[in-house]
Structure 1
């Protein structure tokens, strides 16, 4: 019979693609992990790993067994979660990561409710872009991640994640009140071909969505200001230095000299909760329920 511990070692190597990273994730030495894999090969009667350049890769037999291992570990995790639910105890650490606007508008009221209902829960929060935080979710260093997915550029997600859409919202274009088109209720991005843009850094969902949206309307974007926070982008917009694409949740607080217009054609952004299906637990489920009950904070902004 195969050892669960050794199957977990193989599954972790399959996920991370290297002995060193898998060992770090499992908090053991690379030599200790190699010994587990060698014993598993003897149990399986097949070679499970082979050299690949300076690294290793799974053989066909390794991939077959890793697939069974992943399903078995997922079933064991579900069993553990079900047993934990029998006691109805939501306690211990809950490590949350998320994009700034979601953290600011969705989490505070939800965490307040969780503190009332589950005082033994210990949540921690880290903000950042999904491209930065996703590796921490996949390695188990974050339990729950709030990500954004823009309609014209849906977020690519690795296998093994569970998703729940929490908010779906419109995206508007922000202009300075000094801009000639600022009084318009709606705008086509093709009308803004001569203005610089402010957005999040390259590689992030907002940046790539902006670039694709502009190119789809025949405009080659000039993203002059790469700023992580929407509120900082809006400070540039207010001075008529740039335009910006801003989702509803990020419109508050907006500087008084900023105006918003709907896009033609429209554009939407979803905020989604993502977590590893294999590590789902009562704290994660309790947090998602609290977010859904609380809903986003109501934005306060000018037209």
Structure 2
């Protein structure tokens, strides 16, 4: 019989690429991970790893077993969800991840509603960029997250995760005078931090307009970004959620762009029917549909 805990390590090795990265994700030593994977090879009766210099790669058998591990882990998530559904009340931890604009606009009202309806739920929230969410969901330190991507920066499906749609947003060019994107070739730009989806999206939008933006400042908080735009420090691309109260500072002119930002819920495959996750999704959708003030656009 194959051990589920060892299968999880193999799945994570397929995803993370190195034993050291798997060890760090699980707070193990690399030696302990190697021993567990060696034990899994004995259970499987075949070689699952091939040594390549100082690293390892999966053999054909290891690749097949890692793919089946996804199915096994998803089945366990469904079993956990079904068991939780037999309880009379929602309780226990619900660990939530969210990007900054969702933290400011969507989550406060949702958390208040959830805490009022289900006081035995232990709600915790981490603010983080969507690029950091998948490993946190896979290693179990998050249960559900709000993530986003852009039509210019689509995210490839992750076999370990499921998603559900929440909303689509218009993106806006923020400046101190009416401009279209092509007119911003010589403008200084306020960009998000390198490595974030927002940064990559702006680069691709500008590339599509025929230029690369010249960064003057980097800022990830859109309130700060709009304040810098109003101060004449540059132009920026911002999402619709960033225009919810507080209103943009006076002097900011917003021009809608063709590109869109898509916000989704993400959770481990098989976990979507867990009562706590399903209730979180329903509550945030209600807030998004009825509880958000209209964006302020001048």
Contact 1:256 1:302 in 2 (8 A): no
Q: Aligned to 1:273, what secondary structure does the other structure show? A: strand
Query: Alpha-carbon deviation of 1:241?
Result: 2.0
Give the superposition deviation at 1:245: 1.2
Report whether the alignment pairs 1:171 with 2:171.
yes
Q: Partners in 2 of 1:228 and 1:98 — Cα distance?
A: 14
Match of 2:280 among 277, 287, 296: 287
For the Cα contact (< 8 Å) 1:152–1:212, is it kept in 2?
yes
Q: Is 1:249–2:241 an aligned residue pair?
A: yes
- Correspondence for 2:126: 126
Distance change in 2, residues 1:7/1:237 (3 Å): closer
Q: Does 1:301 align with 2:296?
A: yes
Residue 225 of structure 1 is aligned with which of 193, 210, 217?
A: 217
CA separation of 1:16 and 1:249: change in aligned 2, threshold 3 A: same
Alignment partner, residue 260 of structure 1: 254
Structure 1 unaligned blocks of 5 or more:
182-186
**Contact kept? 2:20, 2:30, Cα under 8 Å:** yes
- CA drift of 1:200 comes to 0.9
> How far off its partner does 1:278 sit?
5.1
Which residue number in structure 2 is paired with residue 60 of structure 1? 60
What's the secondary structure of 2:149's corresponding residue? Answer: strand
Q: Distance in 2 between matches of 1:292 and 1:232?
A: 27
Structure-2 separation of matches of 1:155 and 1:68: 23
Q: Give the alignment's Cα RMSD to 1 decimal.
A: 2.3
Alpha-carbon distance, 1:164 to partner: 1.5
Structure 2 vs 1, CA of residues 236 and 29 (structure 1 numbering), >3 Å: closer, same or farther? closer
Cα deviation per residue 1:91-136 (whole Å; 9 max; x = unaligned)?
2222222211111111111111110121111111121322344432
Q: Which residue of 2 aligns with 1:184?
A: none
* Separation of aligned partners in 2, 1:89 and 1:18: 41
Q: Rate the CA distance shift 1:165–1:190 in 2: closer, same or farther, 3 A.
A: same
Q: Deviations over 1:235-271 (max 9, x none)?
A: 11112221111211101321122222223xx221111
How much does 1:87 deviate? 1.7
- In the aligned structure 2, how far is the partner of 1:167 from the partner of 1:193? 31
Whichever of the two has the greater Rg, that structure is 1
TM-score (normalised: structure 2)? 0.88
The Cα offsets for residues 72-99 of structure 1, whole Å up to 9 and x where unpaired, read as 2221221121121122442222222221
The 3 A distance-change label for structure 1 pair 63 and 233 is: same
Q: Secondary structure at the match of 2:85?
A: helix
1:149/1:155 contact within 8 Å kept: yes
Gaps of at least 5 residues in structure 2 are none
The 1:52/1:240 distance shift into structure 2, 3 A limit, reads: same
**1:102/1:271 contact within 8 Å kept:** no
Q: Displacement of 1:159 after TM fit?
A: 2.8
Deviates further, 156-165 or 113-122: 156-165
Structure 2 CA distance for aligned equivalents of residues 276 and 197 of structure 1: 37
TM-score (ref. length: structure 1)? 0.87
Residue 249 of structure 2 aligns to a residue in which SS? coil
Query: How many residues of Structure 1 are paired with residues of Structure 2 in the alignment?
Result: 293
